[in-house]
Structure 1
């Protein structure tokens, strides 16, 4: 019985092609992730230094602007700001307010936090007498430019060209209290407006590049892996066909050195096994021919004995010997039926066997299912015939049931006899082993039928399962591969 994979192994592809492809893709992905992490770490460190330097320069410029407005009389300040708006030429959007304007911050961002901390420390250092300083990064759509609630979108484009781009960028907002009730409002963009993107590990461009490289690896690796594994598939098919008794041409000795060596070893093994099977058949034929004469002589000499009791005992031993020889020969012949597998419609196939048993006076039931199986007809008939014969000998009546379970066809033959002790089930396949109730029901049997049926099932790539049936009786189930895959679990 095949063991099912456990744990993470269940998620792996079952084919070598799938596993090698998965391994290549996983290797490329891990390499890309490691390279991206190293690159992003270096880029993040460089970005932090660049942002800190840019923020320090902006802080110095803002401090110069504050000192300039502090040097002006309060009534001149609005006029200068109006001139700035009309003439341009400054990097800041400037306004005066009676109180600090609420700012809706963009939220915590590592690079933004570094910039804000640098700007604030620079302003405090350059403006030691102006301790009330507020800085923040705000998205343009949320930016309020006056203490009366006026938003950036309400101003003409000519006044806000310093801080408005086609693609929105965070605006650095600085507010400094010059005197009580007089706050200077400065807004500008960082020298690199989209500096926040430099700290991202994955961007759309990076993801597209990785996807293209992965696609290239998959497109190149699948043909290479398929070309590499094709000889292994041929070897698997040859081994399966040889195990089923089919004649297959020799494997081509092409491909890698390892496969050529494997193909040669497989060919040599197939020849040795073929010679062994042929020698075994010739040996049993020779034994059958050679033992026939001594057994006949023993029978003739037994007839010359005067003691009737002794003569009867001799005849009984000779008959048992002859039966064992015939049984062994029959076992070999039944297991080595050379046929070509063909598609068998089980309804008609089993119906003929059932009618034959019913004509002999036996009670056998069978329900058609419409299923088919690919097998050797004579061998399959011998296997099912042995199971049916056992069921009719040891049970009152027999039932044959066919069903498709996953990738297999199951042919169950059940009797309604006394069943088999659980501890004796493993012994039923051994030759010449017959249980007590079996000898009573069928004294002429030799105990070879189940072994022959199992050999035929294994030659088809299946198995024979034995168990006591629920409600009494014994059930032998012949499990054969379902090449068509039709049917569901029953």
Structure 2
């Protein structure tokens, strides 16, 4: 899904944040509910105790004094009326709900020797004239009729509120601080858990460019140490394999050069100049193929250290060397900042592409431009170009196009493969494209810091 973060760290944080939010919402809801229930219970108990005291007082007063006391207790929330006989229950009376029944039980604990009956009346909800998180109004009236000991009845008509009238700010602040503390711990824990994965990913990416890199530190939890140890073992096995292959190829190269040298010496003894020239050309091609094949199979492994390179100076040197050979090479644009890389490999990359342009397009036009943190080198020729469906295939070793890019023009079919390897070793990329006005462009993108 596009909405999910791409990194493991982001996904874990999102999952934990959702879980934390749900937990906080549930906890807050339960806390608010329990708070409301506690407030209602203590409010009802206080009210019941107060009115029970009033009933006991009315029991002791003469009948003529009761009316004055009842009037004093009457308020917008509670209406108190006296009756000489049992009050009549209205026809629209409703059965008591759980809250009214609980209030009745509380009353009975204070008035154990009194007869008490109750019911509910529906009352319109008034419109509040203020704005609060919870609307303050009334839904129902709880009515309780209590029989007095000496004579008569008293009716308490309670106007019940809808809910709590203000937010519990201390509780909200407490939950907020708790959530913030948990969030900080979650961020720290997830970062601690994913850091070894990031280090392993960086090491694997770096291994593709530098097999001689330092081994990973085998520290941390058991699983992390096992992964680092396995990665280091893999790196050592790869290095040993490539070292063995390099030694084998070096021996093969040495064994091949010896008969080639003997054949070159013997070709000089040929009397036919035309035949001698063909032998020498074939031997030169075999020597070049041997050297470039070994370079390609070695992966261009070089002990040369990475250092700052003046790219413009390097290109101008190549231009001067080729111009002395009668070739046409032009340079446009500039890049002032040095790039990090291995000078001999960067020179070979640019030379291979420039010589390809000269070989197949008569002249080479080099354009240099900055592209953010990268530098882009575009080398254009004025040859026939390459079919679109073969722009990638020409990077395959020994792949050739016929007839315009055949063996008759020279080369071994490894130049582009070696050039792309050099670009990728330096964290860059190389691709080809046909120019709209004819010819082929080789585009090299290199990071200025030597890594991507």
TM-score (norm 2): 0.67
Selected match of 1:341 from 306, 326, 342: 306
Aligned partner of 2:204 in structure 1 is 239
2:126 pairs with 129, 134, 137, which one? 137
Alignment equivalent of 2:182, drawn from 211, 217, 226: 217
Structure 1 SS opposite 2:3? helix
1:278 equivalenced with 2:243 (yes/no): yes
Provide structure 2 residue ranges, at least 5 long, that are not aligned to the other structure.
49-66, 80-97, 100-116, 142-156
1:456 has 2:451 as partner: no
Q: CA deviation at 1:229?
A: 3.3
Unaligned 5+ segments in structure 1 are: 1-5, 58-79, 96-113, 116-124, 143-166, 175-186
2:379 alignment partner in structure 1:
413
Residues 436, 28 of structure 1: CA spacing in aligned structure 2 closer, same or farther, 3 A cutoff?
A: same
**Residue in 2 that maps onto 1:195:** 163
Classify 1:88/1:408 alpha carbon distance in 2 versus 1 (closer, same or farther; 3 Å). Answer: farther
Alignment partners' CA distance in 2, 1:485 and 1:331: 21
> Which secondary structure does the structure 2 equivalent of 1:464 belong to?
strand
Partner Cα separation in structure 2 for residue 33 and residue 168 of structure 1: 21
1:249 aligned counterpart, secondary structure: coil
Are 1:296 and 2:261 counterparts? Answer: yes
- Determine the C-alpha separation between the residues in 2 that align with 1:221 and 1:255: 19
Q: Which residue of 2 aligns with 1:256?
A: 221
Alignment TM-score, normalising by the size of structure 1: 0.63
* Residues in 2 aligned to 1:472 and 1:23: alpha-carbon distance in whole angstroms: 54
Give 1:7's match in structure 2, choosing from 2, 21, 46: 2
Deviation at 1:474, TM superposition (A): 0.9
Counterparts of 2:77 and 2:297, CA distance in 1: 102
Partner of 2:92 in structure 1? none
Distance 1:348 1:374 in 2: 14
Deviations 1:461-481 (A, max 9, x none): 232112212222111122233
What SS does structure 2 have at the residue aligned with 1:137? coil
Aligned to 1:265: 230
For residues 287-343 of structure 1, the C-alpha deviation after alignment (integer angstroms, 9 at most, x for no partner) is: 121112223344566677899998777666555433422332344578122233234
Residue 452 of structure 1 and its aligned partner are, at CA, apart by: 0.6
Corresponding residue SS for 1:269: helix
Could you list the per-position Cα deviations for residues 156-214 of structure 1 after superposition, in whole angstroms to 9, with x for gaps in the alignment? xxxxxxxxxxx99547899xxxxxxxxxxxx9974xx682459xxx8655543432222
Tell me how far 1:42 sits from its aligned partner. 7.9
Q: Secondary structure at the match of 1:136?
A: coil
Is 2:398 the partner of 1:432?
Answer: yes
**What is the CA–CA distance in structure 1 between the aligned matches of 2:170 and 2:314, rounded to whole Å?**
65
Give, in whole Å, the separation in 2 of the partners of 1:313 and 1:345.
41
Indicate how the Cα distance of structure 1 residues 412 and 211 shifts in structure 2: closer, same or farther if over 3 A, else same: farther
Is contact 2:267–2:279 with CA below 8 Å preserved after alignment? yes
Aligned partners of 2:433 and 2:170: how far apart in 1?
A: 64
- The 1:406–1:19 alpha-carbon spacing in structure 2 relative to 1, beyond 3 Å, is farther
Provide Cα deviations, 1:44-94, integer angstroms capped at 9, x if missing partner: 8x69x98xx99xx9xxxxxxxxxxxxxxxxxxxxxx9xx99xx95422389
In the alignment, which of 66, 76, 79 is matched to residue 92 of structure 1?
76
The superposition leaves residues 333-392 of structure 1 with CA deviations (integer Å, 9 ceiling, x where unpaired) of 781222332343434443443444445441313211435433222212211221121112
- One of 248, 252, 264 as aligned partner of 1:287: 252
Give the match for residue 364 of structure 2.
Answer: 398
Quick one: distance in 2 between partners of 1:32 and 1:278? 59
Q: How many residues in Structure 1 have an aligned counterpart in Structure 2?
A: 390
How large is the Cα RMSD of the aligned pairs? 5.0
Determine if contact 2:430/2:443 at 8 Å carries over to the other structure: yes
2:24, 2:175 within 8 Å by CA — same for their partners in 1? yes
Tell me if the contact between 1:324 and 1:446 (Cα under 8 Å) persists in the aligned partners. yes
Q: Contact (CA 8 Å) 2:423, 2:444: kept in 1 or not?
A: yes
Q: CA deviation at 1:286?
A: 1.1
Q: Does 1:29 align with 2:24?
A: no
Residues 172/378 of structure 1: CA separation in 2 closer, same or farther (3 Å cut): same
**1:415–1:231 CA distance, 2 compared to 1 (3 A):** same
Q: 1:135 & 1:423 partners in 2: Cα distance?
A: 81
Match of 2:148 in 1: none
**Which residue in the other structure is 2:345 paired with?**
379
Query: In the alignment, which residue of structure 1 is the partner of 2:59?
Result: none
How far residue 139 of structure 1 moved from its aligned partner, in angstroms, is 2.8
Further displaced range: 468-477 or 303-312:
303-312
CA distance in 1, matches of 2:188, 2:77: 61
